[in-house]
Every structure is written in C-alpha cells, then in structure tokens.
Amino acid sequence: MHITDFSLDHFSLRGKRAIVTGGNTGLGQAFTLALAEAGADVFVPTLFDDGGETAALLARTAAGYREQRVDITEEGAPARVLDACVDALGGVDILVNSAGISRIADVTEFGRELWDPMVAVNLTAAFEMSHETAKLMIPQGSGKIINIASLFAFLGGLGSPAYAATKHGIAGLTKAYADELGSHGIQVNAIAPGYFNTPITEESRSDPAANQRIVDHTPAGRWGDVADLMGATVFLASRASDFVNGHVLSVDGGYLVR
C-alpha cells in the first residue's frame, strides 16, 4: 500500500459481521456499539437479559443486531454460536471475547468452587470461541479477534488469583493465536481496560479510600468511561490495524506506567 492510499475509510467496518460475547451490558455493550457505529452488524451471545436496551441503542445506527441467550461454557455451545451467527449474519469477520466474570474472596477461602467457573468463562470459553471462529476465518483469509484482558494481565491483584491467572492466560492466548493465524491474514490482539465506572466497580468507587487510591494512581486523574474503549475497539477491528498482531493494548488512562 502506498501512503497516498490511506484514508479514514480504513477504519470503516461497513459490511463486516461481528460477534461480541457478553456484548449487551457493561464494557461489552460499548464494544457492540462501537462496532455498529463503524458499520458492522453484531451478534451477541449472552446470559444477560437487558430488556432490549442494546437493541434500542443500536437502532440509531444502520447495523443489524441479534442476541442469542446461551451459556458459552456449555459443551458444544461455541460451535452453536458460530452456526447461529452465520445463519443470522451470513458469516463472521470480527470476534470480541468480552464475556467475563469476577469472584473475590480471601486467599484461604478462594478454592476450586470460585476458580473453576472463572477459568471456564474467562479463559476456556474465549479459547473455544476463537477456535471455532478460526475455522471460518482461515478459509476466507481474513479476520480480527479481540480478546478483553485487564490490568491483571500484567499485575497480581488481591482477592482473586483466578482473575489474574485467567487474564494473564488471555494475554498468552492472544499471542499464541496471533502467531498461528497471522499467516492467514487474521490479526489477534487484546484490549486491557483499566478501571472503568461500570456496575462491577461500584463497590470500589463508593469506598472513598479505594476510589482515591485508584484516581491518584491514574495519570489521567479519573476513572474510565466505557466510551473511552470505543476508539481502540474500532481500530483493532478494522483494516487500519492490519499490521498490528499479538498486541495487548492497555486503555487505562496511564495506570500501568505509574
């Protein structure tokens, strides 16, 4: 490509078909809306019933939108999600592995009953979704996979060994799949969100000491708004990032550098 061939059109997702796991709430909803705003149709496998909120948000865009009520940790579920997406949208060009759970307990209380479901959702389901999606992307010779990591892909973190372990695992899966799929025209990257003002961080935000610690540690001096993630999502889903592969992009207001 010559430098004069570049235009903002390289960020467009017009005609693309995307899956966003857990894409109808929290950060997932922002990934869904970002892709739709850029022109992609979106398919969302999720456990959560948002009462039509995400469909209503997307009505302002020209994007098609479908949800599937499914537990992606069940045996065979990822393959069924891909089938349903192909039926609904005609194929898949973008996969965002956003579905995730967090369980917190003191270290002596944190046993297999908390560890196992987190590994199943945060890591194994993301792997299986990527595995099933790669089977369709390889023959078409193109595709984008975006895994949602966390600052705990880099840090330890108190109260949840499984959160840090699964998010470090997501970073490893990202690099392994980038290495495997790069020669097929498929890029696999991750976004590591910092501290965002979503319902799951409500407890820390309402605790004055915890809130201050996070704000003081963040060069931007504030919590992230979910909209802060949308530009990175479009970039990593679009042609503009075709030579970016295996990267974990922190979107954290600078938290990691302090």
Ligand X SMILES: NC(=O)c1ccc[n+]([C@@H]2O[C@H](COP(=O)([O-])OP(=O)(O)OC[C@H]3O[C@@H](n4cnc5c(N)ncnc54)[C@H](O)[C@@H]3O)[C@@H](O)[C@H]2O)c1
Positions annotated as catalytic residues are 163
Residue closer to ligand X by CB (options 80, 239) is 80
Interface ranges with ligand X (CB under 6 A) = 21-22, 24-28, 45-48, 71-73, 98-101, 121, 148, 150, 193, 195-196, 198, 200-201
Which one-letter DSSP state was computed for residue 61? Answer: S
The distance of closest approach from Cβ of residue 59 to ligand X in the complex, given in angstroms and rounded to an integer, is 19
Residue 133 C-beta: closest distance to ligand X, Å? 15
For the CB of residue 28, give the shortest distance to ligand X in the complex, in Å: 5
Least separation in angstroms between CB 5 and ligand X: 35
CA–CA separation, 169 vs 167, rounded Å?
Answer: 5
DSSP annotation of 224 reads: B
**From CA 90, how far away is CA 130, in angstroms rounded?**
18
Residue placing its CB nearer to ligand X in the complex, 21 or 130: 21
Q: Are 17 and 11 in contact (CB under 8 A)?
A: no
Q: Bridge-partner residues for 20, per DSSP?
A: 96
- In terms of CB distance, is 150 or 187 closer to ligand X? 150
Per the structure block, which two tokens stand in for 67?
Answer: 């949800």
Angle, helices 77-89 vs 126-140, to 10°: value is 40
Q: Which is nearer to ligand X, 138 or 165 (CB)?
A: 165
Structure tokens at 161: 């060994």
